[in-house]
Amino acid sequence: MKRKILKTLKVWLAVVFASGILASCSKWDEFKEYTKNGEITYSGKLDSVKIYPGDGRIKIRALLPADPKIVKARVFWNNMTDSVEFPINMSNGRILEHILPMAEGLKSFTLYTYDAKGNRSVPVYAVGTALGSRYQSSISNRVVTSAVNVNTTTTINWVSADLSASPIFTEVKYLSATGQKIAKVPANQDVTVINDLAPTAKTFTYRTAYLPANSIDTFYTAEKTVGIFKDVTTEYLKNTRLPATVVVKGDRWGTPTDWVTNAAARNFRNWNGEYYGGVDYWFGGPRLAMEAGWSGDNMATITNGKMYQSPTLPPGNYTFEMDIPDCTRGAEFYTVAAAGDEIPNIENITSSLAQAKTSEPGTHKITFTLTTATKVSLGFVGHLTSYGGGGGTFWRIDAVRLKQLPLVN
């Protein structure tokens, strides 16, 4: 029985050994068929491949292997349907950089190197993104909250930028005293001061630059023009501050240059029978003023006394200011801006562009907006009552100012 088992085992082992020999012979035959033209040769593969995004393009950067036989590289994308080939000169160093035009979106790349015999490397895979119009539409310009010019200093206040969106600076173009200038405002700066704005400059233009992570290109928003709120008094008005100048002067009162005064406002009768009014030389003058009273035979009651100038103003938002050092509190005295050649009577004052009762000491202002170039009368109208030698009514003005914020598209 034992001999029979041993005999069966020997037969089984013989069969297994024979099968192994046959299989080995078959694989060797296949290898000889595959390599009948020589052994497989691979060129060295690229290393440290990086894809950098750009605007409608990418940059490929890689480290070339220490293989002097490499003569070219090829990059495939879109499931190997698109490719580009570029030569390699190993004597130029081992850094490979190449920029490719590329449609916007996420791409998968396969890269090979080749030697002169056409032998290629094993594939190297990389993923990268090209940017374009979709990214461009996602970025936004910074927002200006105010731009104000005072004397020679212009201050621009910005809404804080979202730094996570990769803004790097805002480019501000403006007219300086010496010509056109460009200032770069860092993205983390919320206040910008310009000290050399040209006196004639009323706007500036700006755009914001973005640099996405590792991008080879900087993206810019569309430009925007913003008006500067500034004092334009000297451009449109004259004789606006103490000391006031006069056309003619009597003992105490004169008639101002550049201002229209009606007969009611000129209520001071000089010794020669002429009437003056609008400028008072007393109390630290000469300054713009009206007064009635404190006289038994002069300085009669003023009804709708007026003083104004009528410049033509371009479109814009305007503020008309005046400084009143002293006046009869609560009197019928108004500051007015009205379209046309004259300011209205008090009875029709609501027809004005803007008006305010300004019969308290201090600085007062009215505001109005023009959408087209308009002739505007700016000034004052009042009822000032005389109480004879026992009292009267008055107001005085140290200065008036006109400020403008241009309307821009």
Please list the alpha-helical segments (H only) found in 35-132. none
Q: Is 386 exposed, middle or buried (0-12, 13-18, 19+ CB in 10 A)?
A: buried
The predicted-structure confidence for 208-262, as pLDDT tens digits, reads as follows 999 999 999 999 999 999 999 999 999 999 999 999 999 999 889 999 999 999 9
Instruction: Please tell me whether residue 365 adopts helix, strand or coil conformation.
Output: strand
The C-alpha atoms of residue 103 and residue 299 are separated, in whole angstroms, by 84
pLDDT (0 to 100) of residue 37? 55
Fold agreement between 47-134 and 235-406: no
pLDDT (0 to 100) of residue 184? 97
Residue 143 tokens, joined? 């927002």
The C-alpha atoms of residue 321 and residue 274 are separated, in whole angstroms, by 32
List Cβ neighbours of 177 (8 Å cut-off, separation of 6 or more): 196, 197, 198, 199
| Superfamily name with CATH number, domain 235-406 | Galactose-binding domain-like (2.60.120.260)
The predicted-structure confidence for 361-376, as pLDDT tens digits, reads as follows 999 999 999 999 999 9
Mean pLDDT lowest for which of 17-31, 109-123, 306-320? 17-31
Residue linked to tokens 């069966």? 8
> What residues does each domain of the chain span?
47-134, 139-229, 235-406
The answer on pLDDT for 33 being more than 50 is no
What does the mean pLDDT of the chain come to?
Answer: 91
Q: Are 258 and 247 in contact, with CB atoms under 8 Å apart?
A: no
| CATH (residue range 139-229) | 2.60.40.10
The predicted-structure confidence for 280-332, as pLDDT tens digits, reads as follows 999 999 999 999 999 988 999 999 999 999 999 999 999 999 999 999 999 99
Which CATH code, of 2.30.40.10, 2.60.40.10, 1.10.3720.10, 2.30.30.100, is assigned to 47-134?
A: 2.60.40.10
pLDDT (0 to 100) of residue 40? 77
CA distance readout (Å), 179 to 182, 184, 192: 10, 17, 19
Sequence length of the chain is: 409
pLDDT (0 to 100) of residue 36? 52
Cβ contacts of 212-218, under 8 Å, gap ≥ 24 = 212/53, 212/131, 212/135, 212/166, 213/166, 214/50, 214/52, 214/53, 215/52, 215/53, 215/54, 215/131, 216/52, 216/53, 216/54, 216/57, 216/59, 216/99, 217/53, 217/54, 217/55, 217/57, 217/131, 218/168
Q: Indicate the pTM of the whole model.
A: 0.78
Q: Which residues pair with 357 in a beta bridge?
A: 334
